[in-house]
Structure formats: structure tokens, C-alpha cells
Structure 1
Amino acid sequence: MSCHSQRSIQTHCPICLNIITKAIQLPCSHVLCDKCISTLKKLEHKDYILLELTGDNDSLDLTSCCPMCRYEFPLSEARHNPEYDEKIRATIGEEAFAQEVEEMRQEQTELEQHNVLVVGNVYKKIATDSRNSNKWTFFVKMLNANVEDYVKRVDILLHPTFRPSRISRTRAPFKIVRLGWGTFTIVCTVYFHDKWGMAPKRFEHRLSFSGCGSFAEYPLEFKARRDEDLGSMSGGVSQSASPQ
């Protein structure tokens, strides 16, 4: 049974206790901030992280429970309520609301400076008469930011039975979609924009046909280089350990 609508405006998230700047309203009428509802999805559904990275999460029929009343609901029904945002803004005042937004922006900036590169694949079994019944998407993404702000090119090396077996992606999304019958190790080299002063990095990813796929996270620290430093950057490729 759904909870009754709240009589007063809920200005703070009941989970993190921060001022809500983007209200996500649940079918039971409880309201959470967008960061906490995102965390809830990822904690309860490991595949949600993988599919969210590739934009396929709408295809999942996942349910969750409200952390306040335990009402079970489809995640697709947890939606942003812009009108509630405006009510919070009017209740706490423009200055306090703007300050909270600025603090969140600074927090996001810090996250982007210590970001995580994600390398992995999404998998789906398809109906076909061919033995190539495994559809997979290999991708390179950033966990907390837009990948195109950091990555300028990704070179991908596939099994030699694929034609072509060498692919280069020079713009986002950095991904490829293929059909196949077996797994193998994909090797990719990631090139970053010059302003970050970071040498290219090489990664290995073993295709996974289990569940929705798999991915590995690689923490990276990004610090913008001064213009005079860009000319002295090394062009070598650094090695990164492949996930076990």
C-alpha cells in the first residue's frame, strides 16, 4: 500500500540528510535526492551499473524497495519531479538552494579529478540459426564524467578472425558492437587529450558472456597541464594490469 502524501515539503534527503536539489519521487510519495536513488539502484542490482554505463538500463525490469517504508516499486517509476525542486527552492530560500548546488558542483569537480576509467562489455543472447548468437558491446567509459572530456581516441584489437580486427574510435561513444560464438581477450589503447598530460594506456579485457557482461575499474588522477608543459609529454604507452 502506498504511503499518504506528505503535508509539508521535505527539503532534506532522509538518507544523506543533504538539501535536495534534484528530487526523485517514488510511487509511495517519499522523496530522495538523485544521488541516493542512484546509489540504491547500484547497491541492489550489480547489473544496473553495467547497463547504466552503456545506456541500456531502461531495458531492465528491476524493482526496489523504498528505504523509508519498504514499499516495493519498479525502478522505472522513480522519476525526477521538477515541481518539487521549485517547492524546495521556495521553502529554503534562493540563497541556501544556490549554495547547495554550488557545493555539489565542487564535489563533482573533485570526483572528476580522481576519476575512474571503466573498460568492459555488455552481453546479450539472441535468437539466430547461426552459431554467432552472442551479441556483445565492448566499451570504454568514465564513471563520474563525460568520457569525451578526457579521452580523444581508443584503438581496439580483436581476435584475428574478425574483419577488420583493428578498429579506431576517435569520438564518443567509444564502443563497438559485434556478434560472435566465443570469448577472447580484447586489447585496447586509450589516448587522452593533451591538456591532461597523461600518456596512452593499454588495457586487456576478457569478453564475458555471463549475466549482462562484466567490467573493470581503473582509477586515474587527472590534472590539467600548463601550456608550456604540453610539448614535453612522452608519447609512450604505459601498461595497465588486466583484470583477473
Structure 2
Amino acid sequence: MTDSTETTQLEADIPHDDLCPICRHLLHRPVITQCSHTLCEPCMAEWADVSVTSQMTPIPLTSPESADFNMLAISAKCPMCRTLTSAQRSEEVEERVKSRYPEIYAQREEEYTRDESLKDVSIVSLVVYVGNTAKLVEGSGSGERKFYDWEFFVTVSDTSVVNEVEILLHETFKQPRVVKRRAPYTVRREGWGTFTIRANVVLKSGYSWISSDAVDTAYAKRVSLPLEWTLDFEDGGSQARCKLKLKNERRRLRSS
């Protein structure tokens, strides 16, 4: 089997346009961004920074959304120019590099397949829903101070990666800080005024968010993702969806 050192030697004379600007190897499973950069698909998936703000998409409360999505299609900051962009696979570029360098491309594919099963870090996709339901309390009166029975929620497509969700309510509440260590990640209260709720989604050991919005905790880096949601009492409440990415380094931890 040809190792990566020999592959690199074979790639020495390859023109710049056929090399990935991130890994500096022959383009493998190439993608083209909206900002006109061509990269390997794995490089784009790992190094494109995802913003919570750009991903927050309002959807109906009753929408039967799937947790699956194309990771390349989400808006992210390009690893080359930091422009907010997305990417798509380029069959034209792939056929070009395959035909020009069939031996090297075959080696790249072989190395990719092998490394996927052995590598310490993998990229995991996640869908997060945040929102609230609201129901008018009967007999609460009319005018500005109508009381609502509301429930704030954070729903995660894969709860196995979540250590806890810290929910921070308005300071006037008797218990403004609520920590949920298992799903459902919800808080139910009653009141008349709307305000912005902050929720910190904290990952388990071995995972980290691929987002500039992520923050460190006392125990690990980039494991807490702050979300903000302003309560909505109209039409029974509302929600939004975020399509995000995280690194899974648990295999590295197990082997160390």
C-alpha cells in the first residue's frame, strides 16, 4: 500500500489549481464554494466555521422537520476568505483530476477510506430547535397584561452528545437558572411579559462545537454554545432551527 509520504512525492509537480489550499494534496471529492474556492470536501466540512446567527431559520411549530441535512449546504465562513458561503460537490473538477492523475486520485481515495476508520477526530452534524409554546390563561383579563402559560424548549437531534442545557430566565423569576441534564430540555412558567432567554448547550467530554459562537468552560474548550430566544406569545408560540457541526474526539480520548 502506498503511504501518504509517497503520495506527497507524486503530487510535487501538480499545478496549484489541482491542489486543495487547506491540506495541500490533490483535490479529493472536490467542492466549490459560492465565493469561488475549490477545496476537498473533508477540509470544507472541518474548517468552515458555522455561525448560529446565520443558521437560525424560523419554522412552524408543527413542521415535521427531518434531522438529516447536507453538511455542505449550510451557511458557513469559508476557511480561505471567511466569507459567509456554502459549497457543493463539483463533478467537473472531480472528473478532471481523476483523468489527469488517476493513480494519485486512487491513492487519495484509498487513504481517505482507511483514515476515516482510523482517524481520531470526525465531524458530526447536529440539528438544534429552540422556541416556545404559549397558551392564554383563562380569566387572565384583557388589555396589555394577559397571562400566558408558556414553555421554552431546546430540542437536539442527538441528545447523546449533550451533557447539559443551562437555561437562564429573567432575573425577576424566583429560580432564574435552570440546568437540565437530560431531555426534554424545557422550562415552563406563567407570565405576561416577553423577554429574551439564554440557553447554553454544553457538550459531553470529547466533543466541541465548530463555531466562533462557542465558548470555553472551566473544563474544556468550545464545548458550550449560547443560544438566545425571545419569547413569542402570538399564535401559540414559535420556533427556529439551527443546522450545526461539532467535532467528535472521543476516539482520541479512548486511545490515549
**TM-score scaled by length of structure 2:** 0.43
Relative contact order (alpha carbons < 8 A, sep ≥ 6): 1 or 2 greater? Answer: 2
Q: TM-score, normalised by structure 1?
A: 0.45
Return the index of the structure with the highest Cα Rg.
2
